[in-house]
Amino acid sequence: MSFHRQMTGKDEIILRRAAQEVQQGQTINLGIGLPTMLPIFLPATIDVMFHAENGCLGMGKPVDNGTPDYPVIDAGGRACHLVSGAACFDSVLSFTIVRGGRLDLVILGAFEVAINGDLANWTIPGKSTPGMGGGMEVAQKAKRVMVLSHHLDKNGRAKLAEKCSLPLTAPGCVDTLITEQAVFRRQNGRLTLVSLHPDTTLEIATSPFDFKVPVAQKLETWRA
């Protein structure tokens, strides 16, 4: 049993777009769920180190037919290879990396993201409380926080809200939000729509919002 799921068409659009945001040489932490599939979409020329909370820097590809008993797993419980130059350590050192500000980028999933960059992804009180794990620390201390999420939740509500209704993981931390329809970047303290997927329009992408979403004057071309 682990968190890893089958990829959908929407997931693939989000992951391909997110891969464009990764820069050479970065130290990156991937949240469980969708973000753990990002490495599949990175070009071979990009050389980055993936950090896993349970105590590795330099996580590599998943192990074929690996079991959860394999001696190297990612934070979602999947058996992984280590890349050349990887390091293994304990939880104390792992979070010294996190709280010491050594993560260039963290890529997370979300229950809700607010327009001011607030992130809620650790509890739906009374319903689902997976717990914060290392989420509060990576969200609060990474140099850049990117959230990958479907544009709408299962009930058809936009994941981007004017204000989070759920308890926060960290306030004002989200720098970039990528959905299958749009890219939002925090500009002047507010997540601003800066790019649209070619299959959608500004009207369609903004119609689920019951508040005004800032839109960049000149939209970026969608890269994937």
Partner 1 sequence: MPHKIKNIAEAVTAYIRSGQSMMVGGFGRGGVPFSIIDYLADHPEQYKGLILYKNDANEPDLGIGRLLKNRQVKHLYTTHIGLNPAFIAQMNAGEIACTLTPQGIFAEKIRAGGAGIPAFLSDIGLHTSYAKGKEKMTLDGQNYILERAYHADVAIICADMVDQKGNCWWQGSNRNMCVAMGTACDHVIVEAKEIVDTGRLQPENIHLPGVFVSAVVRAEPRRHQQEAAA
112 part of the interface to partner 1, by CB under 8 A:
no
Name the one residue in this structure whose structure tokens are 């650790």. Answer: 122
19 part of the interface to partner 1, by CB under 8 A:
no
Q: Which of residues 193-222 bind partner 1 (CB under 8 A)?
A: none
Asked if 16 contacts 221 with a C-beta cutoff of 8 angstroms, the reply is: no
Say how far apart CA 170 and CA 88 lie, in whole Å.
27
132 part of the interface to partner 1, by CB under 8 A:
yes
Contact flags string 155-194 toward partner 1, x per CB under 8 A = ------------xxxxx-----------------------
Give 34 or 72: the residue with its C-beta nearer to partner 1. Answer: 72
Instruction: Outline where 103-169 has alpha helix (H).
Output: 135-141
Give 57 or 183: the residue with its C-beta nearer to partner 1. Answer: 57
Tokens standing for 31?
């949240």
2 part of the interface to partner 1, by CB under 8 A:
yes
For the CB of residue 149, give the shortest distance to partner 1 in the complex, in Å: 17
- CB-based contacts of 173, cutoff 8 Å, min separation 6: 117, 118, 119, 139, 140, 145
| 53 is a catalytic site residue | yes
Q: Which of residues 42-101 bind partner 1 (CB under 8 A)?
A: 52-56, 68-73, 75, 77, 82, 88-92, 94-96, 98-99
Report the b/e string of 119-150 with b at 16+ CB within 10 A. bbbbbeeeeeeeebbbbbbbbbbbebbbbbbb
Give 103 or 183: the residue with its C-beta nearer to partner 1. Answer: 103
Q: What are the angstrom distances between the C-alpha of 93 and each of 36, 59, 60, 135, 221? A: 21, 16, 20, 16, 40
Residue ranges binding partner 1 (CB under 8 A): 1-3, 32, 52-56, 68-73, 75, 77, 82, 88-92, 94-96, 98-99, 126-137, 140-141, 167-171
Catalytic residues: 53
